[in-house]
Amino acid sequence: MALEEYKRKRDFKQTPEPPAKLERGERRRFVVQKHRATRLHYDFRLEMEGVLKSWAVPKGPSLDPADKRLAMQVEDHPVSYFDFEGIIPAGNYGAGSVMVWDMGTWEPQGDAAEMLRKGDLKFRLNGEKLKGDFALVHMKSRRPGSKGTEWLLIKHRDAYVQEGFNIDEYDYSVLTKRTMDEIAGDQGSAEWKSSRKASAGGASKKNDWLAESIAKADAKKAKAGKKSAASKSPSVTGKTLVAKRAQMNPTQAKEAGVRHPAKAGKKSKTARPTSASLGGVKKNS
C-alpha cells in the first residue's frame, strides 16, 4: 500500500495531519507546502494514482530556468494533505509549521505514470505563484551512499520565466494569506480574521475544490476562534460569537472592503494577491 510509510512515521493521536487514506478518482492538483521543520524546505506534491507524490525541495521551486533545484523524493502523502496548513506539535515527525505556499492544477506532458517510472516527468503548472512548464528529472548518476531519491526540479523556458526568482518574496499562504511567522505564532487564536475575497459562496464552479479548501480553513479558524474566545473570556456569549463570526464573513468583508486590522495601513513588500486571482485555474478531471 502506497501510504504505509506515511502512516508508519506518524502518530495520529499527536499530529493534526490527515490520516493515511487512498483516494479514488484522478483529479490533478498540485500543492507546494512551505515547511519550517528542523530545516526550512518546501514540499512539492503532485496528485496522481490516488496519493500525493512528494518531493522535499530544500531551496524551493523557482521560476528561473537557471535554478536546478534538488528535490528529494519522500513518502507518498494522502490526497487530503493537499490543504494542510498549521502546526505539527514538537516531538512529532516533521514538527514545525506548514504553509500552503501554492496550489493549483497540473497537466502531464505525456503519460504521467510512465514519465514518473522513467524518472523524467514533464508537466505544466497552473498555480497562483507557479505557472508554466517544468520537469522533474531523476538523477541517474548517484553519489555513493545516496538513496536514489534525488531528482532535479527545473523550470522550462516559456512566458512565465522570472530570471532571478526570489522565493523569499513570496512568504504568504495562498489559502489564508498568512506569513510563516503568523502561522507559527497562531496557536488557534481568534485574532486572525479572513480578508479573503474568494469564499465557498462566491467562487465559480471551475475552482470549487479551491473554494472547498478555503471554506475548510475558514471553518477551522472560526472553530479555533470560538474555542479560544470561550476559554479566554467566559463572559462572551454565543450570540456575540455569532455576531463576531458574521463580522468576519469573507463575503461581507469584501462588500465592506474590510481588511485584516493588523495589516490595514501596513505596507508590505510582498504583494498578496487575493484568492480571486486563482479564478483562471482550470479543473482537470
Which of 60/225 has CB closer to Mn ion?
60
**DSSP code at position 167:** G
Work out how close the CB of 74 gets to Mn ion at its nearest, in angstroms, rounded to a whole number: 7
Is residue 193 annotated as a catalytic residue, yes or no? Answer: yes
Binding-residue total with Mn ion (CB under 5 A): 2
> What are φ and ψ of residue 169, in 5° steps?
-80, 0
The answer to whether residue 43 forms part of the interface with Mn ion (CB under 5 A) is yes
Which of 78/250 has CB closer to Mn ion?
78
- Residue span binding Mn ion (CB under 5 A) among the ranges 9-17, 42-50, 253-261, 275-283: 42-50
53-61, long-range: CB < 8 A, 24+ apart: 53/116, 55/136, 55/151, 55/153, 57/153, 59/167, 60/32, 60/34, 60/101, 60/167, 61/32, 61/130, 61/134, 61/153, 61/155, 61/167
Give the span between the Cα atoms of 202 and 218, in whole angstroms.
14
Of all residues in this chain, which one has the CB nearest to Mn ion in the complex? 35
User: Please, which of residues 16-35 interact with Mn ion by CB under 5 A?
Assistant: 35
Q: State the amino acid at position 248 in one-letter form.
A: M
- Residue span binding Mn ion (CB under 5 A) among the ranges 40-48, 135-143, 174-182, 211-219: 40-48
Which of 35/254 has CB closer to Mn ion?
35
Longest dimension (CA), the chain: 65
Give the span between the Cα atoms of 130 and 115, in whole angstroms.
21
The answer to whether residue 36 forms part of the interface with Mn ion (CB under 5 A) is no
Please name the helix (run of DSSP H) or strand (run of DSSP E) that holds residue 30, with its range, or none.
strand 29-36
Work out how close the CB of 33 gets to Mn ion at its nearest, in angstroms, rounded to a whole number: 7
Q: Which of 34, 177, 193, 226 is catalytic?
A: 193
Which of 19/280 has CB closer to Mn ion?
19
Residue ranges binding Mn ion (CB under 5 A): 35, 43
Catalytic residues: 193
